[in-house]
Amino acid sequence: MTPEDLAFAGITAQAKLLRDREVSSRELVDLYLDRIATHDPTINAFREVFADQALEAAAAADERIAAGDDLPLLGVPVAFKDEVGIEGHVAGHGTRAFDIPAPADDEHVSRLRAAGAIIIGVTNLPDLAICGFTETEANGITRNPWGLDHTPGGSSGGSAAAVAAGLIGAASGSDGAGSIRIPAANCGVFGLKPQRGRISLSPEPEHWNGLSAAGCLTRRVVDTALWLDVAHGNVAGDAHAPAPPTRSFVAAATTAPARLRFAMSTSAPRALAPPLHSDEVEGAVRGIGPVLTDLGHEVIDRDPRYGTIGNSVIPRYLRGIADHAATVPHPDLLDRRTRGFARLGKIVPSRVLRRALDREAKEAERLNEVFDHADVLITPVTAVPAVEVGRWDGKGALRTVLGMSRVYPYTVTWNHTGQPAASVPVGFSSDGLPIGAMLVAPPGREDLLLSVCAQLEAALAWPDQRPDPTWSS
């Protein structure tokens, strides 16, 4: 196995190589540190790299492996989005507005460490995880490895870019309006938004009024399944606690699904402005229909009943931003546009937010009627391929949110309902940018998505596709 193949192998394969003593944790950490030093000055996926700590942890992991320890991720490097508490480090949330080191690891971090993972660094995100692009005054522009003039998406843009470029095997993400699925689609990797509450957000009980879920970005479906197996579970104080899975997520990802019916829909809900449309995106998404048919499944055309879903998601999103901004230690150091988002959120009356929350159950019931006719729903992830860097430069909060609602109309619906949804790579635009399809499952059925997406991965072979290592635009 070449060093590049090892870098792109994924955390499941790397964990096995470590257990079989075919590679050491020190070699893995050195490999990624070298790749980050070589490529990240161009891509800007990482906000901070913990080189010394990672090397120290690798040495300890190699000793434990030699002694027979068998934790699922022992010695495997991973990265975290720069919004979680890592003991002794300041989570920047894409800004300069935070300066207090975390007194302890957040629950998500703690569970990965308990599984033996080594945190190699933290990845860039937009201010307070608000936007579908990763460009900030504090940390600069994060670029798409498939086309440096284009965004990797957001808000988990640094994590997706790092995984796509082979700078790490897996990186955490969070998804409050599409922030795992949009970067996954833009960067040609796999991204699953789990069921709300599947991974604890502790010490926060919830985020953005329940819109947000934690997860990860990987190249392979089984790697996301492994991450979920070690990270899932709830603690006291969590606002949302779904029923526990009936089998391991890795078991789901390594078991072929039964014959299923898929509902195909390319009609987009409207949030604030009319959605954009791309024939290339629609063609790539519809192109997986024959693949599924060849695999023995049935594909029908059927649209969810979106209704006026924007009337519910916009208050939750904007008030969530305002509430988060109110907790920032130095709000004057937030980007000007971020302060504008906070002002927009402050004018959302509490009664409007309560109505939006109260509508969730009824709207989820209406939307999930599609599963009376199909097992899985397929839609685009984004209306168009990755937009150019600087699309919203100089624009205020209102013009930015209006523009984003046109480019990213599909994803936030399923944050409102809280159910799992995934992005899978399904092709490329004429200028070589990845395109993603979104698969949505009924509530609590990450296992179904993992099984189906792994079957699609085997058919489409997207992990074999890597961006040009010269990082040409």
What is residue 470's predicted lDDT score, i.e. its pLDDT?
77
**Mean of pLDDT values over 41-70:** 98
Taking Cα atoms as reference points, which of 1, 26, 95 lies closest to residue 329? 95
pLDDT in tens, 417-433: 999 999 999 999 999 99
Q: Is the pLDDT of residue 473 over 80?
A: no
Report, as residue numbers or ranges, the catalytic residues: 81, 155, 179
CA atoms within 13 A on the CB side of 463: 26
What is residue 471's predicted lDDT score, i.e. its pLDDT?
60
> What percentage of the chain reaches a pLDDT higher than 70?
99
Of the pLDDT bands very low, low, confident and very high (cuts 50, 70, 90), residue 469 is confident
Q: What domains can be seen in the chain, in order of their start residue?
A: 3-464 (3.90.1300.10)
Q: Is the pLDDT of residue 94 over 60?
A: yes
Q: Is the pLDDT of residue 472 over 50?
A: no
What is residue 256's predicted lDDT score, i.e. its pLDDT?
97
What is residue 85's predicted lDDT score, i.e. its pLDDT?
98
pTM of model > 0.85: yes
Q: Is the pLDDT of residue 271 over 80?
A: no
Contact predicate 387/408, CB 8 Å? no
What is residue 454's predicted lDDT score, i.e. its pLDDT?
98
**Mean of pLDDT values over 305-323:** 96
Q: Hey, what are 219's tokens?
A: 């190249």
Distances (CA, A) of 284 to 288, 435, 450: 7, 7, 21
What is residue 185's predicted lDDT score, i.e. its pLDDT?
99
**Mean of pLDDT values over 142-170:** 98
Interhelix angle for 51-66 vs 25-43, to 10°? Answer: 160
SS (H, E, C) the chain: CCHHHHHCCCHHHHHHHHHCCCCCHHHHHHHHHHHHHHHHHHHCCEEEECHHHHHHHHHHHHHHHHCCCCCCCCCCEEEEECCCCCECCCCCCCCCCCCCCECCCCHHHHHHHHCCCEEEEEECCCHHHCCCCCEECCCEECCECCECCECCCCCCHHHHHHHHCCCCCEEEEEECCCCCHHHHHHHCCEEEECCCCCECCCCCCCCHHHCCEEEEEECCHHHHHHHHHHHCECCCCCCCCCCCCCCCHHHHHCCCCCCCEEEECCCCCCCCCCCCCCHHHHHHHHCHHHHHHHCCCEEEECCCCCCCCHHHHHHHHHHHHHHHHCCCCCHHHCCHHHHHHHHHHHCCCHHHHHHHHHHHHHHHHHHHHHHHCCCEEEEECCCCCCCECCCCCCCCHHHHHHHHHHHCCCCCHHHHHCCCEEEEEEEECCCCCEEEEEEECCCCCHHHHHHHHHHHHHHHCHHHCCCCCCCCC
> What percentage of the chain reaches a pLDDT higher than 90?
97
- Comparing 472 with 15, the larger pLDDT belongs to 15
**Mean of pLDDT values over 67-81:** 98
Burial zone of 169 (CB within 10 Å; 0-12 exposed, 13-18 middle, 19+ buried): buried
**Mean of pLDDT values over 83-91:** 98
Q: Is the pLDDT of residue 412 over 90?
A: yes
Please list the residues that pair with 300 across neighbouring strands: 263
Q: Is the pLDDT of residue 221 over 90?
A: yes
What is residue 378's predicted lDDT score, i.e. its pLDDT?
98
Mean pLDDT of the chain: 97
What is residue 312's predicted lDDT score, i.e. its pLDDT?
95
